Amino acid sequence: MRLLAPARTIGLSLLLTLTVLFLFGCSDEQSRTVDRIKIISGNEQCALPGHDFKQELKIELLGPKVPGLLGGQGSRAPVADVPVHFVPVDGSDLTVTPATAVSDAGGAVTVKVAAGKQTGDQYLDIIPGGFEKKAIRLRFITGMELKGEGREYKASGISTEPVGVKLVGADGKPAADIPVRFQLLSTAEGTRTTAAVDSPVVLTDADGVAETRIKLGDKTGSYQIGIEIMAPDKGFLVSSKPVKIFGFNLVGVVVSVLGGLSLFVFGMKLMGDGIQKIAGENMKKLLQFFARNGIVAVLAGTLVTAVIQSSSATTVMVIGFINAGLLSLVQSIGIIFGANIGTTVTAQIISFNLSGLALPAITIGFLITLSSRRVISGWGETILGFGLLFFGMTMMSDELKVLGEFGSFREAFNYFDCSPVNGWMPFLAVLGAMGIGVVATVLIQSSSAAMGIVLALAGSGLINFYTAVPLLVGTNIGTTITAMLAAIAANRVAKQAALAHTLFNVFGALLMLLLFYVPYGPERIPVFLYFINEITPGNAFAAVPQNLERHIAMAHTFFNIAVVVVLLPFIRQFAMLCNWILPIPNNAPVKITMLEPNLLSAPSIALKQTIRAIKVMVEDSWRMVDTAVNKHFLASSVDEKKFEALAKAEERIDKMQAEVTAYLVQLTRHQLTEPQSELVPLLMHCTNDAERIADHTEIILQLTERLTKTDKKISEAGRKDLKKMWEVLNDQQKNVIAALGSDNPETLKFALKDQRKISKMADKFESNHIDRLRKGNCLMANGIIFIEMLGELEKIGAHLENIAERTPEIQKHYIEL
């Protein structure tokens, strides 16, 4: 047995190690071996003789691929301090400045290339010093200028402007009468396409220009046209040079992106619902049960939000708890803090490249959902939702990757590009990116969905790490709108909780904004971004960012954790701040709404609230009957003002009955367990009985008025009989009220036993009264009123008995909730 403790310790240590590796991946220490040369820009450019090529040639030296542990596709580390030689070959007269350069800390090398006098294809070898076997050869084309490269056209039509070339000889004069062949290499539609080249072969004119128009297909995407020149006798030998143009189908893009987003959101919701079925609906009750301690409340908020996949849903539920009087402001703030951490789980899941599992997950999940067993179907929904989530994400990502090639789209995203200028992130661009994140989240009503779009944009190359982080900060602020809307109709404390959610995220945004301008290291990278880059596999600041989605997901998680760590010791002060901004006027009592609509998504809690409401109805109805019997009937007192007050109280009971019934009807529209479904009709019947008890108040008051008109009171013997019966009835109502919402069956025995007493007493007292009538001890008119009063009390007891008889089933289901 003593060996179990060390074994358990080793097991926990291993679990913690795997968790850290899962989140952070493997070490990203820079490699010293060149395994690959990556071309960043500048390959296959065209220039006229004697001119510089427009783009600088930029390459990146990378080491061997290091697989991560559940960290995506793995990554290659950049290789620094390696000399790279640029050598023209095959007689090429290219000029490279400098001819030898050393890779920087990011493994990058940048040089300028100029064209010579020779026309046609020219070649350049790139040779890393000490790793000559990894050398690569690039092509440049001299004497040719492209026309139409990168142009964008409307899909399904002929290009409005032609695509072509201008040829200039070594002497600098236009080259005329040279045949240029145009060939369609690839299209946005794949092999089955309606796209075509209008004129496959064109001779250059006197200006050295050869052009053709392109018929585009229906889909959005790129079209590559190969340009080939075979005129060696005139100094032009150019193997197929691809020219890329773009076709844009607005309707197709909108449908694909919104369709992918819809599948993503639906899959996220389905996965959350499935996990709830597996974990049990009682998962949501953790929010109330563990809210007493700040740290535990944060953990509960994190866990529940991770399960239901929505911080907005958790926060709205907290608003409901407060409005129903189940949580205090201080308790709710801890849960809200945790919800902000829990919502980052979705981004963590998405950031792993699991799109290949989407279709198998959809198939398997759908088959499992056919099961009639709740837990098994829950697994099916979870797997199906997982598949739909990644399928929708893939749809969005694929479409955005296509748009990422469009120059116009890249220019649009440049307006809020937050890449450093002169060593600092541009302040206005950062604020703009945050604003876009806020607006997008408000429109979509889901920070997780907005984060999915951010990840898709990053994966398509439209945004970088510098821009993605301000966007995710904006999504954190935008998600608070849901809680604010839910709190509009809630009490003051619930409004304070919604304010706390907003202030938390605004404070986090300000903290992050500050950290954006705290540089670290020789490259002066913002300290928070530097930290995320260090703990995540790959380099987000490489010339071509590596593992960018994982970096964004890690930034989202650690951003929220950091804000919670900073604010957690000051929860009470935070609550005081909210109370100062939104004070409760003159310490007025806080309105409690037992039948809180925001709790309907947690049926077990909603049912408990319904039982509380019925209990209050029975108590209020009994107080009305008690007043009518003891202060009016037995006292032979008629007071019109008090009668009106009782009539208004009865109207309130009628209104409450309608509210409880409507609440239960709304509840049936949610997913209920079998015990919960069986409990609904029982509670409806109890509501009706509670209301009918109040109805007897009016009849008793009518009997009182009739009694006072006889100028005689009930005989002393009759009064004693009524008081005895009332004592038993009063005992019965106490037991019934105690039994409602209780799991103690003992209270029911007394309630049912009291009803049997009441029935016997009613029969006995009626017989006694008939004897008094025969002896002339009572007036006939009063005798009829007495008998009617006995009947009213017996009917009230019958309604209490109805509630008592249903209470065992209520108690049974109450325990199972």
Q: What is the pLDDT of residues 669-678, one digit of tens each?
A: 887 777 888 8
- Token couple for 389: 């989530």
**What are the sequence ranges of the domains in the chain?**
34-140, 144-248, 250-279+355-403, 290-343+406-587, 600-816
Mean predicted confidence (pLDDT) in 467-483: 88
The enclosing H or E element of 186 equals strand 179-186
Q: Under DSSP, is residue 161 helix (H, G, I), strand (E, B) or coil?
A: coil
What is the per-residue pLDDT across 121-142, written as a single tens digit (0 to 9) for each?
Answer: 999 999 999 999 999 999 999 9
- Token couple for 507: 């404070």
User: What percentage of the chain has pLDDT greater than the value 90?
Assistant: 24
Q: Which of 195-209, 227-241, 405-419, 770-784 has the lowest mean pLDDT?
A: 770-784
Angstrom distance (rounded) from CA 628 to CA 631: 6
CB count in 10 Å sphere of residue 621: 28
Q: Is residue 5 pLDDT above 80, yes or no?
A: no
Residue 247 gets the label, from left (phi > 0), alpha (psi -120 to 50) or beta, of: beta
Lookup result for tokens 């008109």: 709
Closest alpha carbon to 82 in 56, 60, 112: 60
Beta bridge partners of 136: 126
Residue 13's pLDDT is 41
Residue 323's pLDDT is 82
806 close to 671: Cβ distance less than 8 angstroms: no
Q: Is residue 816 pLDDT above 60, yes or no?
A: no
- Token couple for 420: 């450093």
Beta strand residue intervals within 709-775, DSSP E = none
Residue 131's pLDDT is 93
Residue 490's pLDDT is 76
Q: Is residue 3 pLDDT above 50, yes or no?
A: no
Query: What is the residue type of 237?
Result: L
Residue 37's pLDDT is 94
**Would you call the peptide bond into 585 cis, given omega within 30 degrees of 0 as the criterion?**
no
Q: Which of 444-453, 506-515, 566-575 has the lowest mean pLDDT?
A: 444-453
* Dihedral sign for Cα atoms in the order 724, 726, 729, 735: negative
- Token couple for 787: 């008998």
Residue 72's pLDDT is 45
Angstrom distance (rounded) from CA 348 to CA 353: 10
Cβ neighbours of residue 125 closer than 8 Å, sequence gap 6 or more: 85, 86, 87, 88, 89, 135, 136, 137, 138
Residue 780's pLDDT is 57
Residue 57's pLDDT is 95
User: What percentage of the chain has pLDDT greater than the value 70?
Assistant: 86
93 close to 107: Cβ distance less than 8 angstroms: no
Angstrom distance (rounded) from CA 380 to CA 273: 10
604 close to 676: Cβ distance less than 8 angstroms: yes
Give backbone dihedrals phi and psi of 221, rounded to 5 degrees, phi first: 155, -170
What is the per-residue pLDDT across 608-640, written as a single tens digit (0 to 9) for each?
Answer: 888 889 989 999 999 999 888 888 888 888 888
The topology (CATH level 3) of 600-816 is Methane Monooxygenase Hydroxylase; Chain G, domain 1 (1.20.58)
Task: Name the CATH superfamily housing domain 34-140.
Answer: Immunoglobulins (2.60.40.10)
Lookup result for tokens 């409004």: 495
Closest alpha carbon to 684 in 770, 572, 809: 809
Residue 782's pLDDT band (cuts 50, 70, 90): low
Residue 11's pLDDT is 39
Give backbone dihedrals phi and psi of 54, rounded to 5 degrees, phi first: -60, -50
Residue 174's pLDDT is 93
Angle at 409 between CA 403 and CA 415, to 5 degrees: 145
CB count in 10 Å sphere of residue 434: 25
CA-to-CA dists, residue 250 to 256, 391, 412, 414, angstroms = 10, 22, 16, 21
CA-to-CA dists, residue 472 to 304, 451, 452, 528, 551, angstroms = 21, 7, 10, 14, 12
100 close to 148: Cβ distance less than 8 angstroms: no
Angstrom distance (rounded) from CA 87 to CA 534: 36
Residue 284 DSSP code: G
Q: In terms of CATH architecture, what is 144-248?
A: Sandwich (2.60)
Q: Is residue 110 pLDDT above 90, yes or no?
A: yes
Residue 315's pLDDT is 81
Closest alpha carbon to 389 in 464, 456, 483: 456
Does this chain's domain 34-140 share its CATH topology with 600-816? no
466 close to 298: Cβ distance less than 8 angstroms: no
Closest alpha carbon to 528 in 539, 516, 536: 516
Mean predicted confidence (pLDDT) in 498-515: 90
Angstrom distance (rounded) from CA 625 to CA 700: 8
Cβ neighbours of residue 547 closer than 8 Å, sequence gap 6 or more: 25, 68, 71, 72, 73, 75, 536, 537, 538, 540
304 close to 287: Cβ distance less than 8 angstroms: yes
Best-predicted range by mean pLDDT (283-297, 642-656, 735-749): 642-656
Q: Is residue 236 pLDDT above 50, yes or no?
A: yes
What is the per-residue pLDDT across 305-345, written as a single tens digit (0 to 9) for each?
Answer: 877 767 777 788 788 888 887 778 888 888 888 888 888 88
Mean predicted confidence (pLDDT) in 692-702: 89
Closest alpha carbon to 120 in 95, 85, 91, 159: 91
Angle at 430 between CA 428 and CA 433, to 5 degrees: 110
Residue 194 DSSP code: -
Query: What is the residue type of 110?
Result: T
Residue 71's pLDDT band (cuts 50, 70, 90): very low
Q: Is residue 85 pLDDT above 90, yes or no?
A: yes
Q: Which of the two residues, 465 and 17, has the higher pLDDT score? A: 465
The enclosing H or E element of 87 equals strand 83-89
Closest alpha carbon to 486 in 312, 659, 602, 603: 312
Residue 99's pLDDT is 94
Closest alpha carbon to 28 in 79, 80, 76, 81: 76
Mean predicted confidence (pLDDT) in 560-573: 88
Beta bridge partners of 520: 525
Mean predicted confidence (pLDDT) in 432-447: 86
Beta bridge partners of 83: 102
What is the per-residue pLDDT across 10-45, written as a single tens digit (0 to 9) for each?
Answer: 333 433 444 444 444 444 444 578 999 999 889 999
Residue 202's pLDDT is 93
Question: What is the residue-averaged pLDDT of the chain?
Answer: 82
Closest alpha carbon to 333 in 535, 567, 152, 514: 567
Q: Which of the two residues, 181 and 299, has the higher pLDDT score? A: 181
Mean predicted confidence (pLDDT) in 579-593: 77
Mean predicted confidence (pLDDT) in 186-207: 87
